[in-house]
């Protein structure tokens, strides 16, 4: 369990300090308050409480890496996860891969074998540089005590500067125990910087190009803004809202950008991309997007899902692209290059725009607002049969409608991959610019839901947290129920128990006319699993039970799992399924 801050049992043995102290001094300097770990590197964790650093003890490394990722997303602080060498290290790969694709800064401190035993087939020795090559932004080994602070600082700088991402610091186990020689001196002057928040720097795009962009937007007849996850990473939601309002420009987000805008704002279209199929939130505003003449992209990779396989956005439009990573600009849509931090660049762009005559934009506004409002009504009407359905098994859209009624702007919504992500981004409305919806859209892997919720709860002890997962994805991480219980966390976990790998089976049915038999599960009582771990577990079979259960769960002081028996034939609004009549 978590030790209180104060001297550890190891205090006296290492009264004059050891390698672990040097690591912890540097981590504390960067504002680290928690490390997601499983006790290894041992001395690091044993001494950490002396530095006011708590351990959040995961059950599996893959979940631990996802917890760290979510913690970083919510706090805008670089998160730290630790692991043992060998098999434990290999399990960090999925979590770091998601963080790499989603541009989230995580420092993984990974143990290596004893320096004297390197390359001798020591126990659990593995080429960890090669292991992490495809999923980390930066990998280094720190071998010398005198360089510990240098390398920790380099790791934080690599994670939090430029395009954020996960980094790996490989640390031989004996380094933590090494006691500095009395006369040892550091290579350079003592390090004093705190590098634990991101973005570490806020470079602004070229002023001349910003002026050009302002001119294009002011003169545009049908401009649109596309906001991605970079708005959250840059803490740029307020700057985006100001631009939206000042220049009367309608805004869509990607799934990763969900929450970047207030979706009740009259100029907010909602989430665009592959989720614009039948009953999709932004489906009826497709013409507004596809008919745009100037499109401002902000913090988005314009990936396959965000662009509906690159079919949504018009080839003839003029594109302006703000991104911290110049390599993303022009990858899929040639654009006026605004390489820089989203917040810094949006602020200057809005200033520049206010110098223009925005009369034409103001004049266009009522018609745009009317079109968006009509699209919203059409969506509500189209979805009403499922959002108000009294059928059992339960329609997921009905669950979402019940949840949406209870959603507040301070809440954090977490969803696993597969349909859970699609239901949440489509049927829950963002209440304010900067509201957070955590989905693993970097790689869309299954099993991120519960660990994301644990990471988010670690970051925000008080906020309402609602977590939605499919039964297939949840099976990857059942064990973390014990983690949440042990840590005494409050969470509401909704398991969509449709007894099938839904997305997999439905897509196979569509593409191949059938699905293989592994997609259908034997019945599982998830509520019983929760209870076996000391959590609350309730089974929900009828729509009328949902509302009262959500209210009770929200007021509970523990982990409440709602095992919700849902319709295995419920298809979410992805455009792929528009082919089904």
Ligand X SMILES: Cc1ncc(C[n+]2csc(CCOP(=O)(O)OP(=O)(O)O)c2C)c(N)n1
Q: Does 472 bind ligand X (CB under 6 A)?
A: yes
Q: How many CB atoms lie within 10 A of CB 87?
A: 11
Residue 166 found at the interface with Mg ion (CB under 5 A): no
Closer residue to ligand X, CB minimum distance, 104 or 226: 104
Stretch that binds ligand X, among 175-183, 214-222, 364-372, 443-451 (CB under 6 A): 443-451
Q: Is 303 in the site for ligand X (CB under 6 A)?
A: no
**Smallest gap from residue 431 Cβ to ligand X (A):** 25
Structure-token pair, residue 34? 């928690």
Q: Judged by CB under 6 A, how many residues of this single chain contact ligand X?
A: 19
The whole-angstrom separation of Cα 156 and Cα 136 is 13
* One of 251, 477, 501, 564 touching ligand X (CB under 6 A): 501
CB-nearest residue to Mg ion? 470
> Looking at 94, 470, 543, 573, which residue binds Mg ion (CB under 5 A)?
470
Nearer to ligand X, 422 or 459 (CB): 422
Q: Which is nearer to Mg ion, 345 or 498 (by Cβ)? A: 498
446 binds, among Mg ion, ligand X, none (CB under 5 to 8 A by kind): ligand X
Q: Which of 575, 546, 270, 501 has the alpha carbon at shortest distance from 389?
A: 546
Q: Which does 57 bind (CB under 5 to 8 A by kind): ligand X, Mg ion, none?
A: none
| Closest to 124 measured CA to CA, from 21, 2, 40, 67 | 40
Residue 504 makes contact with ligand X by CB under 6 A:
yes
Residue 277 in the binding site for ligand X (CB under 6 A): no
Cβ atoms of 495 and 527 closer than 8 Å = no
Q: Taking each helix axis as running N to C, give the angle between helix 19-29 and helix 148-160, from 0 to 180 degrees, rounded to the nearest 10.
A: 40
What is the nearest approach in angstroms of ligand X to the Cβ of residue 227? Answer: 25
**Closest CB 440 distance from ligand X, rounded Å:** 9
Which residue, 175 or 501, is less far from ligand X as judged by CB? 501
Q: Minimum distance from CB of 281 to ligand X (Å)? A: 18
Near ligand X by CB under 6 A: residue from 473, 537, 543, 573: 473
Stretch touching Mg ion by CB under 5 A, among 182-190, 348-356, 446-454, 466-474: 466-474
- We find the least distance from the C-beta atom of residue 230 to ligand X, in angstroms, to be 23
Distances, alpha carbon 422 to alpha carbons 22, 159, 213, 253, 456, in Å: 45, 29, 33, 14, 20
| Structure tokens given for 445 | 């892997």
Q: Which is nearer to ligand X, 19 or 470 (CB)?
A: 470
Task: Could you list the beta-strand ranges (E) of 460-535.
Answer: 465-470, 491-497
Q: Do 460 and 70 touch, CB atoms closer than 8 A?
A: no
Please give the residues from 498 up to 537 whose contact with Mg ion meets the rule CB under 5 A.
498, 502
Query: Does residue 189 have a cis bond before it (omega within 30 degrees)?
Result: no
Bond from prior residue into 428 cis (ω within 30 degrees of 0) = no
Q: Which stretch binds ligand X (CB under 6 A): 27-35, 133-141, 199-207, 440-448?
A: 440-448
Choose, by CB under 6 A, the member of 312, 500, 535, 546 that binds ligand X: 500
Question: Cα 289 from chain centroid?
Answer: 25
Within 208-227, the residues that bind ligand X by CB under 6 A are none
Q: H/E/C letters for each residue in 228-264?
A: CCHHHHCCCHHHHHHHHHHHCCCEEECCCCCCCCCCC
Residue 513 DSSP one-character state: S
Interacting residue with Mg ion among 105, 259, 440, 472 (CB under 5 A): 472
Determine if 393 is a binding residue for Mg ion (CB under 5 A). Answer: no
Partner in contact with 503, chosen from ligand X, Mg ion, none, beta carbon below 5 to 8 Å by kind: ligand X
Q: Is 64 in the site for ligand X (CB under 6 A)?
A: no
Query: Over the Cα atoms of the chain, what is R_g?
Result: 25
- CB closer to ligand X out of 257 and 572: 572
Binding mask 388-427 for ligand X (x = CB under 6 A): -----------------------------xxxx-------
For residue 6, with 0-12 CB atoms within 10 Å meaning exposed, 13-18 middle and 19 or more buried, which class applies? exposed
With respect to ligand X, which residue has the nearer C-beta, 140 or 515? Answer: 515
Tokens of 549: 């259960």
| Tokens describing residue 166 | 């996960």
Among Mg ion, ligand X, none, the one that 117 touches (CB under a kind-dependent 5 to 8 A) is none
Phi and psi at 536, nearest 5°, equal -85, 140
Dig out the tokens for 6 from the structure.
Answer: 């104060």
Determine if 562 is a binding residue for ligand X (CB under 6 A): no
Q: How many CA atoms lie within 13 A of 473 on its CB side?
A: 30
Nearer of residues 58 and 156 to ligand X, judged by Cβ = 58
What's the rounded Cα separation, in Å, for the pair 19 and 29? 16
491 phi and psi angles, rounded to 5 deg: -155, 145
Which one of the spans 9-17, 186-194, 224-232, 499-507 is the region binding ligand X (CB under 6 A)?
499-507
275 binds ligand X (CB under 6 A): no
Selected binder of ligand X within 85, 254, 498, 575 (CB under 6 A): 498
Alpha-carbon distances, residue 277 vs 83, 280, 481, 560 (angstroms): 42, 5, 34, 32
- 3-state secondary structure string across 340-386: CCHHHHHHHHHHHHHCCCCHHHHHHHHHHHHHHHHHHHHHHHHHHHH
Q: Is 470 in the site for ligand X (CB under 6 A)?
A: yes
- Please tell me whether residue 497 adopts helix, strand or coil conformation: strand
Query: Per CB under 6 A, does 445 bind ligand X?
Result: yes
CB of 500 to Mg ion, least distance (A): 5
Question: How near is the Cβ of 415 to ligand X at its closest, in Å?
Answer: 10
Please give the backbone phi and psi of residue 244, each rounded to the nearest 5 degrees, phi first.
Answer: -55, -45
CB of 507 to ligand X, least distance (A): 8
Q: Does residue 65 bind ligand X (CB under 6 A)? A: no
Smallest distance from ligand X to CB 254, Å: 18
CB atoms within 10 A of CB 180: 17
- Residues near ligand X (CB under 6 A) are 417-420, 444-447, 470-473, 496, 498, 500-504
- Residues near Mg ion (CB under 5 A) are 470-472, 498, 502
């Amino acid at each position: 369990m978590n030790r209180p801050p104060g001297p550890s049992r190891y205090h006296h043995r290492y009264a004059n300090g050891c390698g672990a102290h040097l690591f912890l001094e540097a981590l504390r300097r960067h504002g680290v308050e928690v490390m997601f770990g499983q006790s290894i590197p041992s001395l690091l964790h044993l001494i950490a409480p002396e530095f006011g650093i708590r351990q959040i003890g995961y059950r599996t490394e893959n979940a631990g890496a996802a917890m760290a990722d979510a913690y970083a997303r919510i706090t805008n602080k670089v998160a730290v996860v630790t692991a043992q060498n060998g098999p434990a290290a290999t399990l960090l790969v999925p979590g770091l891969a998601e963080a790499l694709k989603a541009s989230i800064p995580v420092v993984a401190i990974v143990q290596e074998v004893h320096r004297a035993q390197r390359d001798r087939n020591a126990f659990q020795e593995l080429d960890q540089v090669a292991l992490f090559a495809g999923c980390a932004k930066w990998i280094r080994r720190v071998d010398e005590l005198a360089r510990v602070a240098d390398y920790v600082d380099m790791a934080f700088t690599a994670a939090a500067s430029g395009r954020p991402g996960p980094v790996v610091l490989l640390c031989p186990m004996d380094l933590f125990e090494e006691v500095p020689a009395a006369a040892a001196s550091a290579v350079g002057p003592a390090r004093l910087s705190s590098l634990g928040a991101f973005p570490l720097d806020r470079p602004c795009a070229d002023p001349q190009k910003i002026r050009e962009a302002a001119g294009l937007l002011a003169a545009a007849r049908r401009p649109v803004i596309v906001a991605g996850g970079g708005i959250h990473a840059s803490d740029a939601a307020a700057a985006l809202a100001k631009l939206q309002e000042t220049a009367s420009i309608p805004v869509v987000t990607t799934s990763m950008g969900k929450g970047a805008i207030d979706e009740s704002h009259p100029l907010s279209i909602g989430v665009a991309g592959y989720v614009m199929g039948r009953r999709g939130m932004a489906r009826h505003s497709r013409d507004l997007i596809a008919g745009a003449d100037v499109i401002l992209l902000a913090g988005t990779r314009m990936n396959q899902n965000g662009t509906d396989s690159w079919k949504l956005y018009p080839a003839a439009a003029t594109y302006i692209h703000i991104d911290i990573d110049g390599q993303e600009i022009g990858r899929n849509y040639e654009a006026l290059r605004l390489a820089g931090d989203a917040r810094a660049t949006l602020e200057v762009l809005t200033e520049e725009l206010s110098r223009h005559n925005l009369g034409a934009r103001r004049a266009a506004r009522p018609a745009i607002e009317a079109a968006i409002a009509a699209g919203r009504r059409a969506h509500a009407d189209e979805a009403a049969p499922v959002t108000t359905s009294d059928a059992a098994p339960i329609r997921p859209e009905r669950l979402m409608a019940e949840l949406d009624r209870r959603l507040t702007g301070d809440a954090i919504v977490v969803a696993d991959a597969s349909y859970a992500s699609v239901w949440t981004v489509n049927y829950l409305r963002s209440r304010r610019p900067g509201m957070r919806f955590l989905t693993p859209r970097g790689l869309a892997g299954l099993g991120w839901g519960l660990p994301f919720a644990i990471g988010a709860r670690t970051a925000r002890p008080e906020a309402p947290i609602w977590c939605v997962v499919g039964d297939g994805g949840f099976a990857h991480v059942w064990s973390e129920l014990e983690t949440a219980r042990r840590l005494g966390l409050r969470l509401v976990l909704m398991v969509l128990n449709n007894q099938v790998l839904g997305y997999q089976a439905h897509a196979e049915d569509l593409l191949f006319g059938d699905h293989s038999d592994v997609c259908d599960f034997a019945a599982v009582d998830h509520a019983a699993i929760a209870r076996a771990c000391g959590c609350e577990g309730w089974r929900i079979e009828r729509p009328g039970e949902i509302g009262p259960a959500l209210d009770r769960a929200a007021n509970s002081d523990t982990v409440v799992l709602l095992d919700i028996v849902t319709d295995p034939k419920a298809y979410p609004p992805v455009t792929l399924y528009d082919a089904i009549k």
